[in-house]
Amino acid sequence: MTDFRAFRIRHDDAGHRAGIETMDTSGLSPGEVLVKAAWSSVNYKDALAGTGKGKILRQYPLNGGIDVAGHVAASADPAFREGDAVLCTGCGLSETRDGGYGEYVRLESRWTIPLPRGLSLRESMALGTAGFTAALALLRLQDNRQAPSLGPVAVTGASGGVGMLAIDIFSRAGYAVHAISGKAEHFDFLRGLGAAECIDRHALAFSGKPMDSVRFGGALDNVGGATLAGLLPLIAPYGNLALCGNAGGIAYEGTVMPFIIRGVSLLGIASAGTARDLRARVWQRLAGDWKPRHLDRIATREATLEELPQVFDQMLAGGSFGRTLVRHRDAA
Ligand SMILES: NC(=O)c1ccc[n+]([C@@H]2O[C@H](COP(=O)([O-])OP(=O)(O)OC[C@H]3O[C@@H](n4cnc5c(N)ncnc54)[C@H](OP(=O)(O)O)[C@@H]3O)[C@@H](O)[C@H]2O)c1
């Protein structure tokens, strides 16, 4: 048993509470692989969970943090040995099991990914769920024949974590990325990441017609709602829209026309439940030919466990820009 510190989230008759607690490794969720955490990251979902402003945890108490990277401290599965560098994103962390905001985390071996050659632990968390989601979307798009020749790929919510990483990854993979963002002050930054064009979302007027002139070969939509409905009629024949977010709402009104006249496909992206073989493929690409070229510009901040509440508040107030890494005490 080892004592360690964790940012632990509770909800009981007294309401929501979250903060630093000391616990020991025998109190962690079950799993074959005990990991000494080095890095985690902050996603929107982490902010909702940590503040209690969204119902993310399905049981209490749990340590927060949907992402983690570190070294194996002990393993009951011979596939992992002490000292191995590993990572995990999603897979129930901070939903049904203790997450990456503990200095130790116990993982199920089936969801533990050996750190691929080409990525440091810190880089893997600069990517985290956001980078994994962007790359998973690209894999799904390509598996459904999304070629650069179909036309530019629109990325909505472009100044968010998924959006920025998607711009970098998609442009590196040869696509012309049209970044759709509400933050015109960041357009130069987004162009620096690889966006061929930046479009102000406030000035983007969708016609509301069931079909419209083709404008994009495909899209990655972080926003959903009316944006999803507006984009579908603009996608080229046999292009795809990969849908991963709901920053703009969950309900959308649309018609069947883009699907049955142009053969457009709507691809759902659910990173947390991705099958292990696909998960491993995505991480291999992220460490290799899809590794973002501007990770150090995108992951600009580091926070300690103590600083998390203030990071969450800023994120939920819409005041954060770029990804925030969580640095554990022994991170190299
Ligand atoms: N499906 C999955 O597996 C998965 C995984 C990770 C994240 N997500 C979801 O994907 C979305 C993006 O995640 P993220 O980590 O990148 O979040 P984020 O950093 O908070 O970025 C979201 C972006 O969406 C835009 N936005 C916010 N409110 C909006 C509104 N009302 N209408 C239109 N655009 C709005 C903003 O970009 P601009 O100002 O640039 O427009 C914002 O930066 C979130 O909905 C998140 O829950 C899903």
Per-10-residue mean pLDDT for the chain, 332 residues long?
A: 96 96 98 98 96 96 98 98 98 97 98 97 98 98 98 97 97 98 97 98 94 98 97 98 94 97 98 93 98 96 97 91 93 75
Q: Is residue 278 part of a domain?
A: no
Domain identity same for 84 and 143: no
Q: Is residue 214 part of a domain?
A: yes
What domain range includes position 139?
129-271
Residues 18 and 142 in one domain: no
pTM of the model: 0.96
Binding site membership of 20 for ligand 1 (Cβ less than 6 Å): no
Residue type at 289 in one-letter notation: D
Q: What is the reported pLDDT for 179?
A: 98
Q: What is the pLDDT of residue 1?
A: 85
Kindly state whether residue 43 falls inside one of the protein's structural domains. Answer: yes
Residue 136 and residue 122: Cα distance in Å, rounded?
A: 20
Of all protein residues, the one whose alpha carbon is nearest to atom 6 of ligand 1 is: 130
The residue to mutate among 67, 202, 223, having the most atoms of ligand 1 within 8 angstroms of its beta carbon, is 223
**248 shares a domain with 136:** yes
CATH of residue 159: 3.40.50.720
The whole-chain average pLDDT of the chain stands at 96
The answer to whether residue 93 sits within a structural domain is yes
- Asked whether residue 46 is assigned to any structural domain, the reply reads yes
Q: 193 and 159, same structural domain?
A: yes
What is the residue with the minimal CA distance to atom 37 of ligand 1?
157
Cα 138–Cα 244–Cα 106 angle in degrees, nearest 5: 90
Query: Is 129 touching ligand 1 by the criterion CB < 6 Å?
Result: yes
**Tens digits of residue pLDDT in 226-267:** 999 999 999 999 999 999 999 889 999 999 999 999 999 999
The answer to whether position 81 is within a domain reads yes
| Cα first-last separation, the chain | 24
Q: Tell whether 136 and 240 lie within a shared domain.
A: yes
CB 301 within 8 Å of CB 326: no
Residues 229 and 207 in one domain: yes
Where residue 74 sits, what CATH number does that domain have? Answer: 3.90.180.10
- Do 133 and 236 fall within a single domain? yes
pLDDT at 273: 86
Question: Does the residue 320 lie in any domain?
Answer: yes
For residue 93, give the 3-state DSSP assignment: strand
Q: Does the residue 13 lie in any domain?
A: yes
Q: What is the largest CA-CA distance in the chain?
A: 63
- How many angstroms is it from 46 CA to the middle of ligand 1? 13
Helices 308-316 and 44-51 cross at an angle (nearest 10°) of 110
What is the distance between the alpha carbons of residues 181 and 128, in angstroms, rounded to a whole number?
22
Q: What is the pLDDT of residues 184-236, one digit of tens each?
A: 999 999 999 999 999 999 999 999 999 999 999 999 999 999 999 999 999 99
pLDDT at 331: 78
- Shared domain for 301 and 199, answered yes or no, is no
Kindly state whether residues 151 and 26 are assigned to the same domain: no
Same domain, 153 and 108: no
**How many domains does the chain contain in total?**
2
The predicted pLDDT at position 323 comes to 96
Say yes or no: 219 and 186 in one domain.
Answer: yes
Q: Are residues 141 and 266 in the same domain?
A: yes
